Structure 1
């Protein structure tokens, strides 16, 4: 399976603001199964955007890599369910 080119972010820790290193991404709200509909967000020429589902404020930070967040741990990484066959 191909890896997604659009990073997914979650706010499991419930902070009001998350700094990220991309301007186009998907917000999931929280990790499954508590996630909200995965919404694609594009900051365009702005440097911040609010998720319409969970109200998390995402702020673009040029110092962060696409797979980084501040606070750490807000980048969602999918894992195979237990007992799933290896790819």
Structure 2
């Protein structure tokens, strides 16, 4: 089993761009029932990536922690666990 979990992000407010502190993550779209398949995204050497499902532009900001976003409130936390 992996030693870390992949951060998940959402965009309920429909922001044009969301800054995050990681380059590998999952996008879930928005909260249910407006979510989309949880898609793994990897920026690689780039500093930004667009989700192919919801078109959210994610920008890497290394000053943010793995669970921080700018604007705030875009980190997704599964409440089923």
Q: TM-score, normalised by structure 2?
A: 0.91
Q: Where do residues 19-38 of structure 1 align in structure 2 (5 Å cutoff)? A: 19-38=19-38
Task: Summarize deviations over 1:10-51 as a string: whole Å, max 9, x none.
Answer: 000101100000000000110122101111000000010000
Deviations for 1:56-79, whole angstroms, at most 9, x for unmatched residues? 000000110000000000000111
Gaps of 5+ in 2: none
The two structures, once aligned, show a CA RMSD in angstroms of 1.3
Structure 1 runs (4+) deviating above 3 angstroms are none
* Bigger Rg, which one: 1
Paired residues, what number? 78
Aligned to 2:16: 16
